[in-house]
Amino acid sequence: MKTSKIIEKGSRAALKLAETEKWDRLTLADIASEAGLELSDFHGVADKQDLTLAIEPLFDGAMSEGSFDADETARTRLFDVIMMRFEAMEDVRDGAMSYLRWRDRSLDGLALRLKARAATAKWGLACAGLDGASKLPRGVQIAAIGWAIAQAERAWRQETSADLSRTMAALDAELIKIEERLEWISARRGKRKTQPEPEA
């Protein structure tokens, strides 16, 4: 079995076990059993930490279908792909919540969150066809999208609706703010270009 397949199966099994167990109490042996694999299958391939590091990319993978409709605005395309991620998280809500509680309450988890948030933002932009030139510096763009995802995730944790309406509202509100900032930046730049040069 390919390394990537073993890691994926292990990560999904960990999320399943985490429905009824705290993330930090999961063992590789238990994960292997849940995945229908032998513990030896993970030797030299992945340990518990590697499977933990694979959780965020697993959710990111749900965005890979992309949204490239030329008739849609950039904000709509980005909204669509990020919501694909939350829909994937919703499918394994209890396990995902266990993982998130560990991530946000441990030193290792906090370090992982910072790195993973940027990776999610980058992949979201790519899946929406927005990873080309931008009016914002690349770092600022990624930070802004990462913040929007973080706020939507906060809403998702409190979600009570099957259609993820709370999550969608939070994400849309944050993306609108980014769009408005871009329009403001464009207006400011345009104003500077039209200002007359000072006389010598």
The tens digit of pLDDT for each residue in 80-95 reads: 999 999 999 999 999 9
CATH of the domain at 19: 1.10.10
- Please indicate, yes or no, if residue 199 is contained in any of the structural domains: no
User: Do 134 and 35 fall into the same domain?
Assistant: no
- Please indicate, yes or no, if residue 39 is contained in any of the structural domains: yes
User: Do 91 and 14 fall into the same domain?
Assistant: no
- Please indicate, yes or no, if residue 194 is contained in any of the structural domains: no
Contact 156, 99 (CB under 8 A): no
- Please indicate, yes or no, if residue 9 is contained in any of the structural domains: yes
Contact 152, 78 (CB under 8 A): no
- Please indicate, yes or no, if residue 47 is contained in any of the structural domains: yes
- Please indicate, yes or no, if residue 197 is contained in any of the structural domains: no
How many structural domains is the chain composed of? 2
The tens digit of pLDDT for each residue in 164-188 reads: 999 999 999 999 998 888 775 555 5
What average pLDDT does the chain have? Answer: 91
CB-based contacts of 171: which residues, under 8 Å, 6+ apart?
79, 82, 83, 86, 148, 149, 151, 152, 155
User: Do 103 and 128 fall into the same domain?
Assistant: yes
The tens digit of pLDDT for each residue in 123-165 reads: 999 999 988 877 778 888 899 999 999 999 999 999 999 999 9
User: Do 101 and 75 fall into the same domain?
Assistant: yes
User: Do 127 and 47 fall into the same domain?
Assistant: no
Helices (H) and strands (E) in the chain, counts: 9, 0
Contact 117, 36 (CB under 8 A): no
- Please indicate, yes or no, if residue 82 is contained in any of the structural domains: yes
- Please indicate, yes or no, if residue 29 is contained in any of the structural domains: yes
Instruction: Round to whole Å and give the CA distance between 175 and 149.
Output: 9
User: Do 75 and 161 fall into the same domain?
Assistant: yes
User: Do 165 and 87 fall into the same domain?
Assistant: yes
Q: How would residue 191 be classed by pLDDT, with cut points 50, 70 and 90? A: low
With a threshold of 0.85, does the pTM exceed it?
yes
Q: How would residue 27 be classed by pLDDT, with cut points 50, 70 and 90? A: very high
User: Do 150 and 86 fall into the same domain?
Assistant: yes
User: Do 83 and 155 fall into the same domain?
Assistant: yes
User: Do 92 and 35 fall into the same domain?
Assistant: no
User: Do 67 and 41 fall into the same domain?
Assistant: no
Range of the domain at 36: 3-53
